[in-house]
Amino acid sequence: MHADTARATDLGDSRSVRKALADLTGGLTSYELWGHLGWQDIKQRYHRAALGPFWITIAQAVIALGLGLLNGLLFGAHFQTFLPYLATGLIIWQFINGCFIEGMEAFIANEATIKHVPAPLMVYVMRTLWRQLLMFLHTFIVYVILLVIFFGDLDHKYSMKDGTCLKAVPGSGIPCHPGLGWWSLLAIPGFLLVLLTMGWVIMFFGIISTRFRDMPQLINAVLLLAFYMTPVVWPMDQLTEKSGRRHALAPYIEPIIDGNPIYHLIQVVRQPLTGGLVSMWSYVAVGLMVVVGWAATLLLMRGYRGRVSYWV
């Protein structure tokens, strides 16, 4: 009787926005704990491997090179600019995809710890996010190598005359972009926005997946569809025919892409790194995702944060 009363009291006390915010700040300040746990996850995953986590880098390089050659041969893409575009898109996509996939298991995978060690839920969120960030940094080495090799092609600046790009040839696959410069540093705040978005994604879907165990399978299917619907391995200029005319399906495909949140998450990082400019709509879309996402997550935490330990 007393145990049931105590449990009900704990659940009642946890149902407030103040408690939810305290959970977030408590988890963020426990950086030594989740930092150590996340690094141990990477070490354990590649235990006794000769190259350790650098296998992540090699795997990413092989995938990017294979897809780059395939697209170059089959679709006539400009290899020198398409390969960095492809590799950067894959690197960011794998980070986002990993946050979704492993984020849904963030609390389930820590069942024993959650049941026996009192800690903010944000600790497990940050553990997952930190682990994915470490993997991202290893794959980012591929972009650095490609930047060294293809810097001259990415740095091709263009001049405009009557609204026409003098460098690029329509339908050739050679993009019309301003080249690399100080504006390439905009990838840093862009990636910070992605991190903020992935933070609430892990918390939100982690809580829901703990209660509804079919959610990971559903999200996996949605992510697979999103990968093919998002310009990750194909460039937007493929909607332009070789003659320079727009593809007949372009008016239908472009609104779908503009409404695709993952596309904007990739663009705010990829465009500055590959010599392009980010559309203001992409910043607005990602900013809305951060604000609305964290607001919804706080409401979810307010109602169900205290129940996670019982659901796992």
Domain extents in the chain: 15-311
Nearest to 191 by CA among 66, 92, 87: 92
Name the band, by pLDDT with cuts 50, 70 and 90, for residue 219: very high
User: What is the per-residue burial (b if ≥16 Cβ within 10 Å, else e) of 23-48?
Assistant: bbeebeebeeebeebbeebbeeeeee
> Coil, helix or strand for 209?
helix
Higher pLDDT, 169 or 26: 26
**177 pLDDT above the threshold of 70:** no
Supply the pLDDT for residue 299: 92
With contact defined as beta carbons under 8 Å apart, do 27 and 126 qualify? yes
**190 pLDDT above the threshold of 60:** yes
With contact defined as beta carbons under 8 Å apart, do 177 and 274 qualify? yes
Give percent of the chain above pLDDT 70: 76
**291 pLDDT above the threshold of 70:** yes
Q: What is the pLDDT of residues 49-79, one digit of tens each?
A: 666 667 777 877 787 777 777 776 666 666 7
Supply the pLDDT for residue 166: 42
Average pLDDT, the chain: 80
Distances (CA, A) of 241 to 137, 160, 193, 215: 36, 22, 34, 40
Question: Minimum mean pLDDT among 117-121, 141-145, 158-162, 225-229: which range?
Answer: 158-162
Q: What is the pLDDT of residues 102-119, one digit of tens each?
A: 999 999 988 888 888 788
Name the band, by pLDDT with cuts 50, 70 and 90, for residue 312: confident
Q: pTM for this structure?
A: 0.83
**19 pLDDT above the threshold of 90:** no
**232 pLDDT above the threshold of 70:** yes
Q: What's the whole-number mean pLDDT along residues 259-268? A: 92
Question: What is the C-alpha end-to-end distance of the chain, expressed in Å?
Answer: 23
Give percent of the chain above pLDDT 90: 32
Supply the pLDDT for residue 51: 66
Supply the pLDDT for residue 204: 96
